[in-house]
A and B are shown apart, each in its own frame.
Chain A
Amino acid sequence: MTALARRVPWTLVVFLVAMFVPWVGSRYDTFLATQIAISALFAMSLNLLLGTTGLVSFGHVAYFGIGAYVCGILMKTYAMPFSIALPAAALGAALGSLVFGFFCVRLTRIYFAMLTLAFSQIIWAICFKWNEVTGGDQGLPDVPYPDLEWMTSIPLLGDFNIADQFYVLTLMVVMLSLAAMKRIIGSPFGRMLTTIRENPERASAIGVDVRRYELAAFVAAGGFAGIAGALFGIFNRGVFADYVYWPKSAEVMIMTILGGIGHFWGPVVGAATLVLLNQETTSYTEYWSFVLGAILLVLLFTFPGGIVGGLTAGVAWIRRKRQGAANA
């Protein structure tokens, strides 16, 4: 990337472009864009573990679920405003990941993956069976939209319907979260996470408390997943135990890998690709899982770096070719 490209505040650019969707597109486009934004945040939070720290969590959906349930219960059962429910969801998810993460980071590799899976299934079992609070297998339908009256007083946004307004809100929350994650990854703390990914032994040899750094990453990732979950519960007009069932963890992992775990924007690309592809596919066939599995196979065998990884490799290849031609 050139120096100029690096100076562009990409998060802001993406935000401004995405803001146009309700004006240019149909109601349905806004619906899809909301889904993409939320999925992107979820995938991005997973990548904080997967790509940045090198931790394979197979239970990330637990924190998404905690966020969704905390926000849903506060807004529906206790009629709390969104401005309280969202931070509470993030905090709840972060707290959950602090408790679970404390044990998980003590394990390595396959055991780490198994323990994250076990914890997420514990959360699922609780959500599925605790009828009084979570609604059990009936879930928590009819989570209300937040009160977005204030948006009507903003010029340009005045004539938006509630779905459009919620999209704007989602976009703001997601972009702020993304900006925060970018700061985290770029900070000395984030650099240390990458060092740990590359070589945990060496990191600990130079005096880094690897577990503490991993736990911090785990908590941050959980908190952001909680925000995504809270938004999704409102977007989907309800929170259900299905959200927390383990195949969902695999789904978000596929999203992240498809975009590319080696690049900051990879998960966003993956989320957009999968949501749109799902949209296209389901209008032709009911066998979306089959298509997803096939995509995953192709991905694993041909470009494990994901879409963004493949593109960067392609660009580098073309550049080398050109340079070779110029030198000759």
Chain B
Amino acid sequence: MDDVSFVFTQFLGGFTTAMFLFLIASGLSLVFGVMRVLNFAHGSFYMLGAYLAWQAVQWLGPILESFWLAALAAAMGVALLGGLVERLLLRHMYGREELYQLLLTYALVLILGDAAKALWGTQQLSVSRPALLDGGIEMFGAVLPLYNLFIMLMGCAIAVAGWLVLTRSSAGRMVRAAALDREMLGALGANVGALYTGMFVASSFLAGLSGALVTPIEGIVPGMDVEIIVEAFIVVVIGGLGSFWGTFWGSVIYGQVLSFGILILPSFSLFSVFALMAVILIVRPWGLFGRPLR
């Protein structure tokens, strides 16, 4: 019985990691799918979300359950920043080579990383778990913290909501059309520019939200931006760059490989996920669920 609960604990741990990563990577993947821009700054938006959430909790302090308000405010702040970045900077790079797009988003990584250091210092910051979700429940002999359960549900909810928006709403139809043929969509009279801005804002919102939601579990430290972005890259590469469900399953696979990889090869679990990424790129560059690029 012990074995079962142990495996189950590992599985749950992996699944929590997975849903976190899905929250982060879904935005990255959407932006790549539609705008063909690989956004290195996505990790920085995530980091800013975490710092902003901490800041908001400090300000709101005495209010009960201020965490939820803070998380929302942080996500909205990051979304606003994302909108500005798209309008003022990224917009001018669409016609240019990938190299310049990559470097533009990398310039933001450098700038935002140092800005966060200047504003919040290099000390590790942390946010306490919201009282509502303090504690845990027992499942198959394994204790699952309520907050982790919330993250899992949140990840699944975002996946379903994103899928519904993409497939059922008119905005979603436009997004899918823009991913397939941007010029044709523009020629048909759609405002592709506004669509791109909207996409980028939504993606930044998700990054900021996941950054805010991670604060009760992990400390906020400088360097979390460059660390998370490669993890998000792995996830989107496994699932397929630009594929929404691919990102979901990519996250699930990543979480389990990491979680069980630690058991098999303790010191090489890092190695195993990068190796997985490389193998996928070699065998199926467009990922398990993606489509080859034209």
Contact = CB atoms under 8 A, between A and B. Distances in A.
B281 A111 contact: yes
B100 A290 contact: no
Interface string B71-107: 0000000000000000001001100101110111011
Contacts of B115: 290
A114 B281 contact: yes
Interface residues of A, number: 42
Q: Is the interface of A mostly helix, strand, loop or mixed?
A: helix
Given A107-B285, A300-B107, A129 B270 contact: yes
B270 A125 contact: yes
Interface residues on B, range: 35 or more
Contact of B281 (A107, A246, A288, A304): A107
Contact of B114 (A50, A107, A293, A296): A293
Interface string A106-135: 110111011101110110011011110000
Contacts of B285: 107, 111, 115
Interface stretch (B13-21, B45-53, B271-279): B271-279
A125 B111 contact: no
Given A121-B230, A287-B117, A296-B103, A128 B98 contact: no
A126 B265 CA distance: 13
Contacts of A78: none
5 contacts: A50-B99, A107-B281, A257-B99, A294-B107, A300-B104
A203 interface: no
A198 to B, nearest CB: 13
Contacts of A292: 110
Interface in A191-217: none
Interface of A: 50, 56, 58, 103, 106-107, 109-111, 113-115, 117-119, 121-122, 125-126, 128-131, 245-247, 250, 253-254, 257, 287-290, 292-294, 296-297, 300-301, 304
B293 to A, nearest CB: 8
Given A113-B98, A125-B274, A253-B103, A293 B110 contact: yes
A125 B96 CA distance: 33
A296 B110 CA distance: 10
B246 to A, nearest CB: 14
Contact of B278 (A106, A118, A129, A245): A118
A66 B271 CA distance: 16
A110 B241 contact: yes
Contact of A247 (B117, B226, B267): B226
Contacts of B151: none
Contacts of A115: 278, 281-282, 285
A114 B275 contact: no
Contacts of B114: 287-290, 293
Contacts of A290: 110-111, 114-115, 118
A113 B102 contact: yes
Given A293-B110, A300-B104, A118 B93 contact: no
B174 interface: no
A283 to B, nearest CB: 17
B268 A122 contact: no
Contacts of A257: 99, 103
A295 to B, nearest CB: 8
B144 interface: no
B12 interface: no
A289 B113 contact: yes
Given A122-B275, A293-B108, A300 B103 contact: yes
